[in-house]
Amino acid sequence: MIGYLGDHRQEQSPFLAEERRLLQIIANRAGILAYSKSLRDSLAKSEKQYRTLIDSALVGIFKTNLKGDILYANDSCLLMFGYDSLEAAKRENCLSRYRNPEDREKILALLQEKGSLSGLEVGGVTRTGETIYLLFSATLESDVITAMVADITERKLACNCLIRNEKRLAEAQRLAHLGSWEWDITAGNVYWSDEMVEICGAHPREFNATHEEYLRFVHPDDRQAVREALEQSLSHSGGACWSLEHRLIRADGRERFVHLRGEVAFSENSEPVRIYGTVHDITMQKRAENELRRAYEEIKTLKERLEAENVYLRDEMELKDGFRDIIGTSDTIRYVMYRSRVVARTKATILLTGETGTGKNLFARFIHLESDRRDKPFINVNCAGLPSNLIESELFGREKGAFTGSTARQIGRFELANNGTIFLDEIGELPIELQAKLLKVIDTGEFERLGSPHTVKVNVRVIATTNRNLEVEIQKGRFRQDLFFRLSVFPITIPPLRQRKEDISLLATSFTHRFRTAYHKNITRIPADIMKAFSEYSWPGNVRELINIIERAVIISDGPELQLAEPLGTPFGGTIQEMSAGKGEDGSYTMELAEVEKEHIQRTLHKTGWRIEGPSGAANLLGMNPSTMRARMRKLNIYREHSPR
């Protein structure tokens, strides 16, 4: 054995005791040297193994002094920083450069305080100046820093990219009011995105994101539908998508509309393992839809109203008389106009009474034009001219399908007259069953369209007329007394023409001028005998009768003087049958206006030899356009003999 020297002979040793001690020392010294060499060899072998391990390690390992001078760096570390040799790294001393200079001071302070650190993320700088992200661990011993670094650049960039994407997703969800959620059925975990929490109005720290928690926010009336949709999707083994709209009650009590979508993921055993989906806040869209629907209904109502007003205005334009002005200077008519002006400035309901033909409709329009509603609609309703089965729908409107044949909604006259005036002509003809509804409208301004449960509110001024004695109608049970009192707030009686004879001359002259222009005549005066006859006549038909007589006279008059078609009172002297036969009781011949016009045109055509156009043609003599004359000839069946029909 190395380090021991022995002698096992039987005989006495030739060495002296002192020599033997010396040999023992030499042997011990040799053993120690041999053992030391063995230890050095073993240490060198271990060091070589560890250096090989360090040099081939995937992580970077290096040593520096406190100044930052590189003492050692393995190949991974050199490669990490872009060097191919330790000498080059030592020359440029790149391992001590950090992306943020304050990181070096921070690391030194931590090492001097604690002696070691682990898992610190720092940014390094490569030989080419590029930034790399490192996971840094180190120890400090004897003023030497031994560090181990792992390149986490790709992971850091991927993490940053993920963070940016998550921020973009969160921002997109915030802008779109779209929250996302996920329910891991197996683990029992539920995830809500930040926007999902915001939609519910909850505070992230004050609630647990669970399925039942979401149901707590669902409107009680919609909760069952949401629960059923979820349960139905869970029972689907092939994967099921589902969606529905419902209401949420936020934590602050506000109501929101949301669109809930979800999809179920199933395992290979067809067991539901995960549900995920979105909650889209569609409150603004719902409000916009409702506003759009209201706007559409308003536009539809306005369109129907405009169409109805258009039809109404066409009907108004086609009125036979076409007279709109009140003519007269007598004290009687001036007093009526004074009362009309006084009441026009109020909101009072007005009842105009008087005989037929006195011009009650003109006074109704006069009152409207003198009121503050002059720029609003004036709607004329002839109660006597409407069928009893249609008068309610005409007055108050109807919904589509309200009765057989009702194929579209119709706006009633009261709606057309909103903020304006409605003129109910011949109110005494209104059926008794509708009078109560009319009374309600006058009192409250409210009514319902036929076939609709919804109340319509209007602001309408009512002017009614009648030529009946309504008090007698009340006694006979044909008119409501309360409606009569409501209408008679301010009654005005229009005088008959016989009570204002001083106005006859002015009326006759005005009507002659108008019809002269309309029929292209050259009438310049009314003979005195005719004017005297007008003044002495009783005028049972009042102003309307005067208008008709003047029109007939203008049609047959050829010269500058007005000529009567027949003596005054002739049309009223016989029965209807006699008048239709063309004879009155006195045997005088009467003609319809169309017949008079036809005869006049035929007489003119005979004078011109049936020549229509040209300076000497019939159209020029009659003051008519040739095409207009031909149209009148066709309408009156005027054809030249032997000409094709």
pLDDT at position 572: 38
Token pair 């069946």: residue: 637
Q: Contact, 142 vs 96, CB < 8 A?
A: no
Residue 536: CB atoms within 10 A of its CB come to 10
Q: Domain spans of the chain?
A: 57-152, 158-270, 319-492, 498-556, 593-636
Nearest to 337 by CA among 346, 327, 349, 324: 327
Residue 89: CB atoms within 10 A of its CB come to 21
Structure tokens at 139: 């120890």
Using alpha carbons, list the distances in angstroms from residue 272 to 131, 227, 269: 46, 16, 9
Angle among Cα 516, 597, 590 to the nearest 5 degrees reads 105
Three-state SS string over 58-95 comes to: CCEEEEEECCCCEEEECHHHHHHHCCCCHHHHHHHCHH
pLDDT at position 575: 34
Please give the radius of gyration of the chain, using alpha carbons only, rounded to the nearest integer.
56
Report how far residue 598's alpha carbon sits from residue 592's, in angstroms, rounded to the nearest whole number: 10
Report how far residue 31's alpha carbon sits from residue 33's, in angstroms, rounded to the nearest whole number: 5
Report how far residue 174's alpha carbon sits from residue 642's, in angstroms, rounded to the nearest whole number: 89
Instruction: Return the sign of the alpha-carbon dihedral for residues 377, 383, 385, 391.
Output: positive
The SS3 assignment for 150 reads strand
Instruction: State phi, psi for 438 to the nearest 5 degrees.
Output: -65, -40
Helix (H) or strand (E) holding 392: helix 391-396
Q: Are strands 255-266 and 241-249 parallel, antiparallel or unpaired?
A: antiparallel
Structure tokens at 99: 């992306």
pLDDT at position 53: 58
Q: Is the domain covering 498-556 a CATH 3.30.1490.100 domain?
A: no
Same fold, 158-270 and 319-492: no
* CATH T-level assignment (fold) for domain 57-152: Beta-Lactamase (3.30.450)
Three-state SS string over 40-51 comes to: HHHHHHHHHHHH
Report how far residue 161's alpha carbon sits from residue 468's, in angstroms, rounded to the nearest whole number: 91
pLDDT at position 121: 86
Residue 65: CB atoms within 10 A of its CB come to 13
Q: Contact, 77 vs 149, CB < 8 A?
A: yes
Name the superfamily (CATH) of residues 319-492: P-loop containing nucleotide triphosphate hydrolases (3.40.50.300)
Q: DSSP code of 367?
A: H
User: Which residues are CB-neighbours of 224 under 8 A, at least 6 positions away?
Assistant: none
pLDDT at position 558: 87
pLDDT at position 307: 67
Structure tokens at 118: 């682990």
Three-state SS string over 97-120 comes to: CECCCHHHHHHHHHHHHHCEEEEE
Report how far residue 184's alpha carbon sits from residue 188's, in angstroms, rounded to the nearest whole number: 5
Could you report the average pLDDT of every consecutive run of 10 residues in the chain (645 residues)? 51 69 80 78 66 66 86 86 84 75 84 89 86 89 89 86 81 76 82 84 67 84 87 68 87 89 84 86 88 84 69 50 70 91 92 91 92 91 81 85 65 90 92 90 90 89 91 92 92 93 92 90 91 91 91 90 82 37 40 69 83 79 75 81 50
Using alpha carbons, list the distances in angstroms from residue 306 to 311, 379, 458: 8, 13, 17
| Class of the CATH domain delimited by 158-270 | alpha beta
pLDDT at position 590: 42
pLDDT at position 562: 92
Residue 365 CA, chain-centre distance (Å), reads 39
The SS3 assignment for 528 reads helix
First to last CA, the chain: 157
pLDDT at position 403: 64
Longest dimension (CA), the chain: 202
Structure tokens at 513: 């001028």
User: Which residues are CB-neighbours of 123 under 8 A, at least 6 positions away?
Assistant: 98, 99, 100, 103, 131, 132, 133, 134
